[in-house]
A and B are shown apart, each in its own frame.
Chain A
Amino acid sequence: DTGVSQDPRHKITKRGQNVTFRCDPISEHNRLYWYRQTLGQGPEFLTYFQNEAQLEKSRLLSDRFSAERPKGSFSTLEIQRTEQGDSAMYLCASSTIAGGKTQYFGPGTRLLVL
């Protein structure tokens, strides 16, 4: 068990560019979650997958955001036409179905949009 990993750890981009983040959950964890955290605030839920199915999306997930988990293992979160307001820490977490209340978080990807 190597824990949840995220790549990259840091990303600086210019406004209007597209960015993609990757999350590798703990192996055999069926559920995968994405959260966003801005400075001084707690994480905010964005979306979650059970296997490859995206089961819930927050209103925070505008149409510029898309998440996938094509084979039920790793997931990607893409932001198109980035805006300065997208600057935040993007956190990924995973859990088993039975232990869904207990989520294991990765270290996050810190995005800065200039």
Chain B
Amino acid sequence: DAKTTQPPSMDCAEGRAANLPCNHSTISGNEYVYWYRQIHSQGPQYIIHGLKNNETNEMASLIITEDRKSSTLILPHATLRDTAVYYCIVRANYPYGGATNKLIFGTGTLLAVQP
């Protein structure tokens, strides 16, 4: 399974864009990049995912580099409610080429949005 590397913590001012980086240099061609977040004492929440094109939804934008070795999650106007641990996940594959649906979480990035 491809591993991901994220900074342990980041700060962001309320109302500004939060840019959360993720490195996944060993990603395979058919592996997707997923982002989830976990607000304190709640279950994780799906944010967005992508393969190689940039993606945008109502919550965030995902920018994936051309070589797919890294990505950035962008929260365009961070609010205090965006304070959470953000997980970048590369979807696991079975060794023999099939796909498994389990998610492999790292320790994520704790984003603290400051007033």
Contacts and interface: CB of A to CB of B under 8 A. Distances in A.
A31 B44 CA distance: 17
Interface residues of A, number: 25
Contact of B42 (A33, A35, A42, A107): A107
A45 interface: yes
Contact of A101 (B43, B45, B49, B105): B49
A30 B101 CA distance: 12
Contact of A108 (B34, B43, B107): B43
Interface string A2-33: 00100000000000000000000000000101
A42 B101 contact: no
Interface residues of B, number: 20
B85 to A, nearest CB: 8
B101 A31 contact: yes
Interface of A: 4, 31, 33, 35, 40-45, 48, 56, 58, 91, 93, 95, 100-108
30 contacts: A4-B43, A35-B103, A41-B107, A42-B85, A42-B106, A42-B108, A43-B44, A44-B105, A45-B103, A45-B104, A48-B102, A58-B102, A91-B43, A91-B44, A93-B43, A95-B101, A101-B32, A101-B49, A101-B91, A101-B101, A102-B34, A102-B46, A103-B44, A103-B103, A105-B43, A105-B44, A105-B45, A106-B43, A107-B42, A108-B42
Interface of B: 32, 34, 42-46, 49, 85, 87, 91, 100-108
